[in-house]
Structure 1
Amino acid sequence: MSDINIGNYFIKRVIELEKPFSHAQKFFPDLTDEMLATCQRELPKGQITAAGELEMSFHAFVVKTGKHVILFDTCCGNDKERPERPAFHKLKTNFMPALAAANVKPEEVDFVMCTHLHWDHVGWNTYLEDGTWKPTFPNAKYIMSKTEYDFWDNAYRTGVKSPHTQAFEDSVQPIERAKQAVLVSDDYELENGIWVEPCHGHTPGTFVINMQSNGQRGVVTGDVIHHQIQLRYPSMSTSADDDKDAARVSRTALIEKLAGSGTILLPGHFPTPTFGTIEDNATGGFKYKYAEK
């Protein structure tokens, strides 16, 4: 499923990449052989390869509310210097044609909302033109956590070298220089029915984005929940989490709050069909139920 309605909001998933990403036990260091076997047996087809690799998607969500066109997270981006991530170094993807196929022109986007500022969530914030990084969405305000921005600004200024500080340089700073960045607190509300909720841990300023329309609810979870393994085992933090203990607490609390509520998840990396709800699992933990359009 590539699109869904939440009340009066129309949501379209725009895929940049969908591929095996990493071995499960490398990405989830605390995942035992027994846990992995359980997940391979219980999780829906297309989540883990026979070799134990995680199937993951890198995508954005377009939301049309009737008032605004909003883009949630912007994937990896083209031409970005990511030598520490060879599979993502200087990509040439069809994200922009895919966005056009979703009937969205760059100039029509009113807001870009970033759940956090990791390299694979801000890449299409900018594009390269004549050696200069420019905002991809010229009329948009880019909504970012001030806590998150300040953390990566400090890391960049102190000389920390990582894909995330590279992304700060090529995908975040140009937005600030163009005066299109809006740095917000944890209680920010974009419009009636769309607001952020802090879920710190994966990064210091990570938030999820709640949506509510006509009695239905959805939530853009970013990297608070990377993979369905974390529904079966909510305590499972990743090698990518900045603070694994804080991530565990915020993730578990979010999963327990959403379980059985009917809230539609818009997760940052769940592969097709992506949209679904969290339900109790008779054999332990929780499970994912794909949404029906």
Structure 2
Amino acid sequence: MPASQSWTVGNLTIHRIDEIALPPHTGAWLLPAATPELVTEQRWLQPDFADTDGTLNLDSHTFAATIDGLRVLVDTGIGNGKTRANPAWNNLDTDYLQRLAAAGFPPESIDLVVLTHLHTDHVGWNTHWHNGSWSPTFPNARYLTSRTEWSFWADYDMDEPRQQMFDDSIHPINDAGLLDILEIPDSGLDVSPGLRLLPTPGHTPGHLAVQLGHSALITGDCIHHPIQFAHPTIGSCVDINPHQAESTRRALLHSLAGTETLLLGTHFPSPTTGLVVNDETGYRLIPSDR
């Protein structure tokens, strides 16, 4: 089994835990304004982030790190054996848990699971099928989400696929008493030394980015792909509030540009991480190998 990719930031080592590469058509569906013409103009995206024909490359992975003695997992991917409307996510059978354990994080060792938001491809490994029911995959962990996120979906008129996701991946952890619903102020919340949750609304109302230490940040879905650095106006087809999502994206990129903060993209293919720099009318990601 290939080792997970990892980066050292100060005294932290952050591990990318791979689940699956997403199909080539994902980018055109997810970011419809990212036309092949716009993508190919950004030559720095090739060959890792995009193909020469303008096809965007996207992944599903999560991140794990030990922070102030706590073993932390950020998001939990799509999950195995779950009925999903998206064919690329339906009834997966991956070795995600083995990869997580190989990186030094067996499921029973996880202390905190941070859920950037409650979308299907970020909560799937919350649970696994065990003894005839969906049971918490990380039985010794506290699962964290924002109250804004929780309240929004509690009042949402869900279609059947989304209700299925809540039934198999959210309600079981809540019923087990493992879900902590947190009030997140606009300035962010330190949940432990070196772990800060930052409101980044728009994709969903309670979406969170996750700051690790003083100089690393995990995007969640406030940025799906590096093409959005060059064109922050490009939004996702599933953004709940597209205007707010763009404003959040611009503010985040502006705050990171020219700093030494390592940005880790939740759906960015390898090299996955880098530094944000100003570039003409937008921004650019300079990949980092640290």
Q: TM-score range by the shorter chain?
A: over 0.9
Q: Residue deviations 1:81-136, cap 9 Å, x none?
A: 10x20111011011011011111111110000011010000000000113311000
Superposed CA RMSD in Å reads 1.7
SS at match of 1:54: coil
Q: Which structure 1 residue ranges, 4+ long, deviate > 6 Å from structure 2?
A: none
For 1:58 and 1:164, the matched residues in 2 are separated by 19
Superposed displacement of residue 169, structure 1: 1.6
Alpha-carbon distance in structure 2 between the residues aligned to 1:280 and 1:228: 13
Cα distance, 1:2 vs. partner?
A: 0.8
Question: Is the partner of 1:189 in helix, strand or coil?
Answer: strand
The answer to whether 1:168 aligns with 2:166 is yes
Q: Following the alignment from structure 1 to structure 2, what is the Cα–Cα distance between the partners of residues 148 and 193?
A: 23
Cα distance in 1 for residues equivalent to 2:127 and 2:27? 31
Distance 1:112 1:51 in 2: 37
Asked if 1:37 corresponds to 2:34, the answer is: no
Aligned counterparts of 2:61 and 2:266: Cα–Cα separation in 1 = 7
Stretch of structure 1 that moved more, 260-269 or 49-58: 49-58
Alpha-carbon separation, structure 1, partners of 2:16 and 2:26: 25
Q: What is the distance in 2 between the residues matched to 1:195 and 1:66?
A: 12
* Partner of residue 137, structure 1: 138
Q: Percent of pairs identical after alignment?
A: 36
Q: Distance in 2 between matches of 1:267 and 1:150?
A: 26
Residues 107, 139 of structure 1: 8 Å contact kept: yes
Q: Where do 5+ consecutive residues of structure 2 fail to align? A: none
Partner SS state of residue 279, structure 1: strand
In 1, Cα distance between equivalents of 2:53 and 2:39: 11
Mark the runs of 5 or more structure 1 residues left unpaired by the alignment.
Answer: none
d(CA) in 2 for partners of 1:190, 1:141: 11
CA distance in 2: counterparts of 1:68 and 1:152, whole angstroms:
29
Instruction: Give TM-score, length-normalised by structure 2.
Output: 0.92
Offset of 1:49 from its aligned partner? 2.9
- Cα displacement (A) at 1:33: 5.2
Kindly indicate whether the alpha-carbon contact (under 8 Å) linking 1:9 and 1:66 is maintained by their aligned counterparts in 2.
no
- The aligned amino acid for 1:62 is A
Kept in 2, the 8 Å contact 1:23–1:53? The answer is no
Question: Are 1:15 and 1:60, in contact at CA under 8 Å, matched by a contact in 2?
Answer: yes
- Taking the aligned partners of 1:246 and 1:184, their CA distance within structure 2 comes to 21
- What secondary structure sits across from 2:219 in the alignment? strand
CA–CA separation in structure 2 for the residues paired with 1:26 and 1:228:
16
AA in 2 matched with 1:13: R
Query: Does 2:225 align with 1:227?
Result: yes
Number of matched pairs: 284
What is the match of residue 47 of structure 1? 49
Counterpart for residue 67 of structure 2: 65
Q: Distance in 1 between matches of 2:166 and 2:53?
A: 34
TM superposition shift of 1:24: 4.0
Query: 1:66 Cα shift?
Result: 4.1
Task: Give the match for residue 196 of structure 1.
Answer: 197
Provide, for residues 165-193 of structure 1, a one-character-per-residue CA deviation record: whole Å limited to 9, x for no partner. Answer: 32222111111000000001223321122
* Pairwise CA distance, 1:154: 2.4
Say yes or no: does 1:239 pair with 2:237: yes
